[in-house]
Structure 1
Amino acid sequence: MATGIELLVAAALCLACPPINDTLPADLIQLNEDGSLVTELPIDVAAANVGLDEDAPIETLEVIRNKKEKLRNMREWINGKHLRIATLEDYPLSYTEMLDNGTRVGRGVSFQIIGFLQEKFNFTYDVVVPQDNIIGSTTDLDRSLIEMVNNSLVDLAAAFIPSLSEQRTFVFYSTTTLDEGEWIMVMQRPRESAGGSGLLAPFEFWVWILIFVSLLAVGPIIYMLIIIRNRLTGDSVQQPYSLGHCAWFVYGALMKQGSTLSPIADSTRLLFATWWIFITILTSFYTANLTAFLTLSKFTLPFNTVNDILTKNKHFVSMRGGGVEYAIRTTNESLFMLNRMIQNNYAVFTDASNDTYNLQNYVERNGYVFVRDRPAINILLYRDYLYRKSVSFHDEKIHCPFAMAKEPFLTKKRTFAYPIGSNLSELFDPELLNLVESGIIKHLSARELPSAEICPQDLGSTERQLRNGDLMMTYYIMLTGFATSLVVFTTELLFRYINGRHEANKWARHGIGRTPNGQSVRPSRWLRGLRRLHSGDKQLLGSSTHAQNVTPPPPYQSIFNHGGEHLHGGQQRWRQAGREHGLILGGHHNGAGVRRLINGRDYMVFRNPNGTSQLVPVRSPSAALFQYTYTE
């Protein structure tokens, strides 16, 4: 607050100020509070003084004057006028109520706008509704709102009417667009994400395709590069791996398994290392994304766009005679591609104007997709949320059994409608434009809703728990693997049976143990047991005959025994087997071997008949292998 000294200083300074100029500029157009002119615009006023360019046509001033005069006359005409206004049952934008005295009154955003216009222009009105609660079109004009407007039975259609091309021949839409109408899909909230199985979710479809292609291609590529490298360099140290080994190396690396392949050449090692690095990075990304997918509550809906409805042939329901139906049935509209779904009974257009009934009957019970404009859907889900929360206060899954798609099913501008030739548009549209630009209509549409989003797609407060649906791909992989192994096992049995029959037929046609050219042939394994049974041997089929044909080997130390003439029959037979392999195991005539330490291991060195040396390992594990080789 100013002090006394400050006021004295301000008064002294004002004495030196020039007087305030309260004169208005010349040729200024003044308006009253109701928008009427205080001073008339003279015809001879220059164009620059009324905001027009210098090159504006001469008749423009005359047009402005005539327009002002016309608006003044219309204000006088509508003052005290009684209008007939038609509307639709389209809660919350427009609907009606019957009072106790039988009078029908309008409600909703549309009649809040009409109330504003009524105060502005001082008129009264009656509310009427069409016999059928439909907008109307060329093929569906009878008992519709458009028919009433077209026949001038009403002065105005106060409803948010979508601007469709087919209706323009019957009515005149207001030049001011009330809002951009969006029709949204509502469906049952799925238990799992519709983005696919949990195991496939980390990567998109084309990434999986490229991984599969690389899995098939890298093995042959490595094989060809190794072959080319050996041929160009002439290297005999690096043995080329087979195609099967290379393919199994690629697959084993993908499964994080080791490999028995040990390349020597540097270029081959780089090929193997490159594939290992690629697999390491790929599996790291997959593991991280899989963890994020399985732990977060984010999910996608199975039906987000019109194309999802079309490709999956999903049943959907919408209002009879609404913008969605006419957009589908009209040839030059964006939704005409869904016309065949009407013919195949996938589209249902209900006559019930109660959205709660449609939600429970079609969506909750039958699993349909409900298509409705956004204000109605928001109000519907909010009221359903309040009711279900009163039943169960804590469980959010019960509160929100429905989910709303993000992408609009249909987008259309919505306006009021007038009879063709009516002048009310010129009077009402400027006022409607003021309401739209100030955001009042948008505010009225969402006035009953909270600021927070009701039942969003992602229920952030719900903990994500793994379900069987997340692991279904794992079950499928297991079943596929077992089924494949069963098929391979059956194929092996079939081929062994066919080969056995082929050998048995050849054995039966050409005599026991003989082929057509006289050479001996061993009978099939399937028939060896039968031969033993016929010969009087009572051994069971499939039992081992190893002990009957092979003499048990003598102790390993007998190899170095010089008293060969004292060997038993089994030891002589074992020593004869050694001689047949070209190895002189020692004795009086050939001399004993010499014990040598080679590469840190003990060997007995014997001289072969051809003059070369033969090493016999002395260490127990190697000696056992040597003994088994020469006794078999």
Structure 2
Amino acid sequence: MATGIELLLAAALCAACPPPNGSLPANLILLGEDGGPSTELPIDLDTTDAGVDEDIGEETLETIISKKPKLHEMREWIGGKHLRIATLEDFPLSYTELLENGTRIGHGVSFQIIDFLKKKFNFTYEVFVPQENIIGSPKDFDRSLIEMVNSSVVHLAAAFIPSLSDQRSFVYYSTTTLDEGEWIMVMQRPRESASGSGLLAPFEFWVWILILVSLLAVGPIIYVLIILRNRLTGDGQQTPYSLGHCAWFVYGALMKQGSTLSPIADSTRLLFATWWIFITILTSFYTANLTAFLTLSKFTLPYNTVNDILAKNKHFVSMRGGGVEYAIRTTNESLSMLNRMIQNNYAVFSDETNDTYNLLNYVESNGYVFVRDRPAINIMLYQDYLYRKSISFSDEKVHCPFAMAKEPFLKKKRTFAYPIGSNLSQLFDPELLNLVESGIVKHLSSKDLPSAEICPQDLGGTERQLRNGDLMMTYYIMLAGFATALAVFSTELVFRYVNSRQEANKWARHGIGRTPNGQSVAPSRWLRGWRRLDSGHGQLLGASTHNQNVTPPPPYQSIFNGGSHGDGDPLNRWRRPLGHGNAIGTGVLLGGDSESGVRRLINGRDYLVFRTPNGQSQLVPVRSPSAALFQYSYTE
């Protein structure tokens, strides 16, 4: 508020101002109370003289003046006129009710607008619906709304009709756009967010691919660099690790298991340290992001755009003869790329006008995505929410089993439609424009909905308990690990069997206990399992001699003590040498009596070798611990 000093100062400054000009500009058109010009225009008045630019885009002064008597005549003509109005069953924007006397009454936003025009222009009307509840197109023209309007059976179509290119040659759309229709996808609410499932959520797909590639490539790279370094430097201190050791080092570092490898060379140490640092940073990021995902992650849906439906070949359902179907079937429309999904039976167009039936039958029972315009989706989800809340009062997940995508599936301007050549558009469109610009049409579309969003995409629950879906990747890893271990075990059995067959052939060629160079070898454990000593005896190699008619060797002490050397003494057969004299086979005579056997060094241990009556070589250990075990096995 200005103070007194400021007012006095303003009055002093304006004292020298010229008096205001009360005259109006020349050639100014004055409008009367009825909106028409109160002054007569000169016959040769030019638009520039009237203050109207010649380059103005739409309505010029002449068109405004020429429309005035025409609109006045139309007002007089429509007063008391009975109009025939067609509509569609498209709740809540337009729907009808059939009374007992056969009269059909229109409801919804469309007929609230029609009732306003009825009071404005003083006409009456009756409602008609097409034989099929479809908008119609050149390829789907019979019994449609477009056919009724095109054949002038009705004066106008009072419905929110999407402005499609193919229909423009059959009807005239009103110049006033009622709204920009948005068709939204509604689907079953998934239990897990589409941003990731459990253990794979922290990283994107390509991050996991690069981690796998590095895991497979770093081991061979380290192996090649170590070999190259040793060859270039000639260093013999650094052991060139095998490829398997390098690969297991890389895997063990990833699993935080460490390694038994201890490189000496500085360059090799840097290679190992580089991989350790990389793994440390990677696992730190993974742990932090996994914690954030399980507690604070934003919930997203698996199908948000048309591209998601197309890429994943997801089944979807929409209204038969609606804007979505014609936008797909029309070549030059935005959804024409979905036409092949109709051919592959991924798209269903339902004849049922009850949205709740489509929601329960297709979405809840079969997992389809339901595409519907936004006002119908909001009303449908709100009614479903009220019903489910009466069943379960506290569980929010029971209240909202469905979720609505954020991105529109289709956007189209929607208008009323008139027959071609009809002049009702000139009379009604200005009034429709006033309703749209004042926000009345938008208010009527959402007046029955609460101000809060019903069943938002993210329910915003604070609790976050781990479910089986979060741990599913853990189960897959365990199954893969056990399957891999089983495959490796089977491979080991196959190689063991092949190796045993090779040893069996070698024993068959060179005799029991002999190799091609004459050294003593032990038979394979596999071979001992089925090979017998000869065809006349059933004793298996390595089998126990207890409870069998096999003479055991003498006590260990008696082998190295003197005794009777008579041929009748049973101990003499344990004192026979393997040959005559000192040249006994190919063994090394380390000392001792030649009749007491041959002392040989086998696998780093001392043994006395005797020949049994059946020709088998018998080994008697000389070392004290082994001798004790030998004595125990034959005396207990």
Deviation of the 1:434 alpha carbon: 3.0
* 414-423 vs 96-105, which moves further: 96-105
Q: Which residue of 2 aligns with 1:198?
A: 198
* 412-421 vs 72-81, which moves further: 72-81
Q: Which residue of 1 aligns with 2:500?
A: 500
Q: Which residue of 1 aligns with 2:403?
A: 403
In structure 2, the CA distance between the partners of 1:516 and 1:181, relative to structure 1 (3 Å rule), is: same
Rounded Cα–Cα distance in structure 2 between residues aligned with 1:410 and 1:55: 36
Check conservation: 1:130, 1:148, Cα contact below 8 A: yes
In structure 2, the CA distance between the partners of 1:220 and 1:464, relative to structure 1 (3 Å rule), is: same
Check conservation: 2:187, 2:402, Cα contact below 8 A: yes
Deviation of the 1:20 alpha carbon: 8.0
Q: Which residue of 1 aligns with 2:479?
A: 479
Deviation of the 1:399 alpha carbon: 0.6
Deviation of the 1:286 alpha carbon: 0.8
Say yes or no: does 1:250 pair with 2:250: yes
Q: Deviations over 1:369-405 (max 9, x none)?
A: 2111111000110111112112221110111011112
Rounded Cα–Cα distance in structure 1 between residues aligned with 2:150 and 2:490: 77
* 148-157 vs 60-69, which moves further: 60-69
Q: Which residue of 1 aligns with 2:358?
A: 358
Map 1:205-216 to 2 at 5 A. Answer: 205-216=205-216
Check conservation: 2:299, 2:457, Cα contact below 8 A: yes
Rounded Cα–Cα distance in structure 2 between residues aligned with 1:418 and 1:90: 19
Deviation of the 1:215 alpha carbon: 0.9
Tell me the amino acid that sits aligned with residue 495 of structure 2.
F
Q: Which residue of 1 aligns with 2:262?
A: 262
Q: Which residue of 2 aligns with 1:168?
A: 168
Rounded Cα–Cα distance in structure 1 between residues aligned with 2:236 and 2:542: 51
Q: Which residue of 2 aligns with 1:288?
A: 288
Rounded Cα–Cα distance in structure 2 between residues aligned with 1:86 and 1:381: 28
How many residue pairs end up in the alignment? 561
Tell me the amino acid that sits aligned with residue 396 of structure 1.
E
Map 1:215-254 to 2 at 5 A. Answer: 215-254=215-254
Q: Which residue of 1 aligns with 2:342?
A: 342
Tell me the amino acid that sits aligned with residue 36 of structure 1.
G
Check conservation: 2:86, 2:130, Cα contact below 8 A: yes
Q: Which residue of 1 aligns with 2:108?
A: 108
Deviation of the 1:507 alpha carbon: 2.7
Map 1:79-478 to 2 at 5 A. Answer: 79-99=79-99, 102-296=102-296, 298-461=298-461, 463-478=463-478
Rounded Cα–Cα distance in structure 1 between residues aligned with 2:227 and 2:481: 33
Check conservation: 2:528, 2:541, Cα contact below 8 A: no
Check conservation: 2:319, 2:351, Cα contact below 8 A: yes
Rounded Cα–Cα distance in structure 2 between residues aligned with 1:278 and 1:305: 37
Structure 1 residue runs of 5 or longer lacking an equivalent are 553-567, 582-626
Q: Deviations over 1:344-378 (max 9, x none)?
A: 43322222211122212222223222111111000
Check conservation: 1:47, 1:56, Cα contact below 8 A: no
Deviation of the 1:537 alpha carbon: 6.3
Q: Secondary structure at the match of 1:47?
A: coil
Deviation of the 1:326 alpha carbon: 1.7
Provide the TM-score with structure 2 as the length reference.
0.78
Q: Secondary structure at the match of 2:471?
A: helix
Q: CA RMSD in A?
A: 4.1
Rounded Cα–Cα distance in structure 2 between residues aligned with 1:439 and 1:320: 30
In structure 2, the CA distance between the partners of 1:42 and 1:465, relative to structure 1 (3 Å rule), is: farther
Tell me the amino acid that sits aligned with residue 326 of structure 1.
Y
Tell me the amino acid that sits aligned with residue 217 of structure 2.
A
Tell me the amino acid that sits aligned with residue 322 of structure 1.
G
Provide the TM-score with structure 1 as the length reference.
0.78
Rounded Cα–Cα distance in structure 1 between residues aligned with 2:393 and 2:212: 48
Q: Deviations over 1:43-96 (max 9, x none)?
A: 434534434336789x96545543444334333433443322111111111112
Check conservation: 1:96, 1:105, Cα contact below 8 A: yes
Q: Secondary structure at the match of 2:106?
A: strand
Q: Secondary structure at the match of 1:219?
A: helix
Tell me the amino acid that sits aligned with residue 279 of structure 2.
I
Tell me the amino acid that sits aligned with residue 278 of structure 1.
F
Tell me the amino acid that sits aligned with residue 178 of structure 2.
L
Q: Deviations over 1:531-577 (max 9, x none)?
A: 5698786886599xxxx9xx99xxxxxxxxxxxxxxx99xx99x996
Q: Which residue of 2 aligns with 1:588?
A: none
Q: Which residue of 1 aligns with 2:525?
A: 525
Tell me the amino acid that sits aligned with residue 385 of structure 1.
Y
Check conservation: 1:396, 1:462, Cα contact below 8 A: no
Q: Deviations over 1:144-183 (max 9, x none)?
A: 1100000011111111111112211211112222222111
Deviation of the 1:31 alpha carbon: 3.2
Deviation of the 1:206 alpha carbon: 0.6
In structure 2, the CA distance between the partners of 1:272 and 1:141, relative to structure 1 (3 Å rule), is: same
* 273-282 vs 529-538, which moves further: 529-538
Check conservation: 1:183, 1:408, Cα contact below 8 A: yes
Rounded Cα–Cα distance in structure 2 between residues aligned with 1:524 and 1:200: 48
Deviation of the 1:475 alpha carbon: 0.7
Q: Which residue of 1 aligns with 2:78?
A: 78
Rounded Cα–Cα distance in structure 2 between residues aligned with 1:542 and 1:26: 134
Tell me the amino acid that sits aligned with residue 225 of structure 1.
L
Check conservation: 2:528, 2:540, Cα contact below 8 A: no
Structure 2 residue runs of 5 or longer lacking an equivalent are 546-552, 558-591, 606-624, 630-636
* 129-138 vs 260-269, which moves further: 260-269
Deviation of the 1:329 alpha carbon: 2.3
Q: Secondary structure at the match of 2:278?
A: helix
Deviation of the 1:468 alpha carbon: 0.9
Rounded Cα–Cα distance in structure 2 between residues aligned with 1:179 and 1:280: 56
Check conservation: 2:532, 2:541, Cα contact below 8 A: no
Rounded Cα–Cα distance in structure 1 between residues aligned with 2:520 and 2:392: 87
Rounded Cα–Cα distance in structure 1 between residues aligned with 2:511 and 2:256: 54
Check conservation: 1:298, 1:459, Cα contact below 8 A: no
